[in-house]
Amino acid sequence: MPDLCPRFHGIAASLAFALGAILITVTPATPETAGSSAASSSSVPTLAPMLEQVTPAVVNIAVVSKAPAEDNPLYSDPGFRRFFDLPEQQQRARMSAGSGVIVDAARGYVLTNHHVVDGGAEISVTLKDGRRLSAKLIGSDKETDLALLQIDAHNLTAIQIGDSDALKVGDYVVAIGNPFGLGQTVTSGIVSALGRSGLNIEGYEDFIQTDASINPGNSGGALVTLDGKLIGINTAILSPAGANVGIGFAVPSNMAASVMDQLVSHGKVERGRLGIGIQDLTPDLAEALRLGDLRGALIANIEPGSAAERAGLRTGDVVTAIDGRPVHGSTDLRNRIGLTPAGNKVSLTVKRGDDEQIIAVTIAAEEKALADVSGTPLEGAKMRDASDAGSQVGGSGVVIESVASGSAAAQSGLRAGDVIVAVNRVPIASVAELRRTIAEKPAIVALELIRDGGRLLLVVR
């Protein structure tokens, strides 16, 4: 066994030397030194003044939902219950907790996550001052994982919504929420990345990534800047253990504000579309097209008779801005058009060859004819035929329009934007063909996909 004593004695000697040095330098405090010490301590940076203004706007949310009393699937079989003369199943209450943010004190509006309140039979909100209030669900949007509640109370404090487009990587941020149901908790960090997508958390993804600690129960809470402005709604973490490892995601405040406006007006989000197929203008692609360091979304194809065709957009155009605000890529363009109500006009800044043009487009309504292949490894994926007029891809195959978080499709690795062109080496031209093939229940399903312009095989079971 190794002798630890020499190491211990070395450490002890070092500590003694350090303490001796400290004792030698300590002197009685004179009035001058005491005053200077107080002045120094008062200048220590602190978030307390900002938090005193902001934290009353962050609330705890408790949700009561109903769940079957028995988990055994036999008890759900009516024939089984009749045979054994079993009484009807009783539902039991299930409790869950999350966070929310008061964004309008006069009207009592509280922003939170869709998954926090989804399926809730009763929703209550607890304010920082201890008041517990019943909450009404105004509307919810699964695709962005946002929901809007309303409470009826006086003397509420609302948070000011900031401009998430002004964020930069490295900006300091503060996360406020109710982790693990402990009560209001504040953590801090920086913006680690912007525009995160492809995580299969939501249908419309444009996340702010932060290393501020976000844990279960923080969902729906506030991500704020150091001047106390709301720039995100905390939504998810990426962790193999289910707890914070420094990778958290928040829905940007600009997206949240757009969704909230529609939930107030319609109780739901009515999405718009242009009728185009788009892809990111990568540096390599920009170089190949001799576009220099231009950034934006490249129009790969245009549907006949679409809003884009009527406005005069062309294949090969690069959309660089919407209403003067820069477009950072295809996901950004899709999100912003999708959150623009049908009938609204937007101005697209378009690079066409050496010319830059401003083109006005009237947004069309998103078509609702999306299919789902239930009871299969693809369940939870909304899809349509690539040849459908509602598709932004064109050609043959099946387009994955969205993938529900936690669904079988998400666990299988499918992503929104994937195009399934073959199953077990058999070409697939439509959702109907895909459904027939999957219905045969092969032991292994090998999907041939087109993703981000490349082909890959995805094996699901």
Report the range of poorest mean pLDDT among 46-50, 153-157, 165-169, 272-276: 272-276
Residues 319 and 408 in one domain: no
Q: Is residue 60 located within the same domain as residue 135?
A: yes
Q: Express each pLDDT in 296-343 by its tens digit.
A: 888 988 877 788 989 999 998 999 999 998 888 888 888 888 888 888
For 113, counting Cβ atoms within 10 Å of its Cβ (0-12 exposed, 13-18 middle, 19+ buried), the class is buried
Does residue 12 form part of some domain?
A: no
Mean per-residue pLDDT of the chain: 80
Contact between residue 99 and residue 60 where contact means Cβ atoms under 8 Å apart = yes
What domain count does the chain have? 4
- In 141-274, alpha helices (H): 253-266
Q: Bigger pLDDT: 195 or 321?
A: 321
Q: Does 319 share its domain with 349?
A: yes
189 located within any domain: yes
Identify the weakest region by mean pLDDT among 110-114, 160-164, 166-170, 197-201. Answer: 197-201
Positions of E strands within 287-331: 297-302, 318-322, 325-326
Element of type H or E holding 144 = none
* pLDDT band, residue 376 (cuts 50/70/90): confident
Lowest-confidence region among 32-36, 229-233, 362-366: 32-36
Do residues 146 and 84 share a domain? yes
Report the distance separating Cα 403 and Cα 458, nearest Å: 15
Looking at 54-63, 201-210, 356-365, 436-445, which range is the least confident one?
436-445
Q: What is the pLDDT of residue 341?
A: 83
Q: Is residue 176 part of a domain?
A: yes
Instruction: Indicate whether 57 and 134 sit together in one domain.
Output: yes
In this prediction, residues 363-392 reach a mean pLDDT of: 68
Distances in Å between the Cα of 26 and the Cα atoms of 22, 149, 243, 436 are 6, 58, 44, 84
User: In the prediction, which pLDDT does 339 show?
Assistant: 84
Considering only 27-36, 197-206, 394-403, 433-442, which range has the smallest mean pLDDT?
27-36
Last residue of one domain, picked from the residues 208, 239, 266: 266
Asked if residue 254 and residue 234 are part of one domain, the reply reads: yes
| One domain, residues 171 and 257 | yes
Quick check: 330 and 337 in contact, CB under 8 A? no
pLDDT digits (tens, 9 = 90+) for 100-150: 999 999 999 999 999 999 888 899 999 999 999 999 999 999 889 999 999
Token reading at 221: 């809470």
Angle at 191 between CA 269 and CA 205, to 5 degrees: 25
Identify the domain boundary among 94, 119, 150: 150
pLDDT surpasses 50 at 7: no
29 within a domain of the structure (yes/no) = no
Flag the least confident range among 302-306, 381-385, 440-444: 440-444
User: Do 227 and 183 have their domain in common?
Assistant: yes
In the block, which residue shows the tokens 């600690």?
A: 213
pLDDT at residue 405, as a whole number: 74
User: Domain check: are 304 and 255 in the same one?
Assistant: no
Residue set of the binding site for substrate:
115, 145, 217-219
Range in 116-125, 220-229, 262-271, 288-297 with the lowest mean pLDDT: 288-297
Catalytic residues: 115, 145, 219
Q: Is residue 307 part of a domain?
A: yes
**CATH number of the domain to which 347 belongs:** 2.30.42.10
Q: Bigger pLDDT: 233 or 437?
A: 233
Domain contains 32: no
Instruction: State which residues form the domain around 92.
Output: 52-150
Same domain, residue pair 241 and 173 = yes
- Tokens at 411, concatenated: 């666990």
Q: Which segments are annotated as binding site?
A: 115, 145, 217-219
- Whether 313 contacts 348, CB under 8 Å: yes
Domain end, chosen from 202, 235, 266, is at 266
* Residue 257 covered by a domain: yes
pLDDT confidence tier of residue 25, bands split at 50, 70 and 90: very low
Bridge partners, 301 (sequence order): 277
- Is residue 35, in this structure, part of any structural domain at all? no
Q: DSSP E strands: which ranges in 323-427? A: 325-326, 345-352, 355-362, 364-365, 381-385, 398-403, 419-423, 426-427
**52 or 441, greater pLDDT:** 52
pLDDT at 36: 37
Q: In the prediction, which pLDDT does 438 show? A: 77
Strands (E), 371-440: 381-385, 398-403, 419-423, 426-427
- Average confidence (pLDDT) over 176-200: 87
Same domain, 389 and 344: no
Say which range, 48-57, 107-116, 420-429, has the weakest mean pLDDT: 420-429
**E strand or H helix that includes residue 433:** helix 431-439
Side chain identity at residue 162, one-letter code: G
For residue 91, the domain's CATH number is: 2.40.10.10
Same-domain status, 337 and 393: no
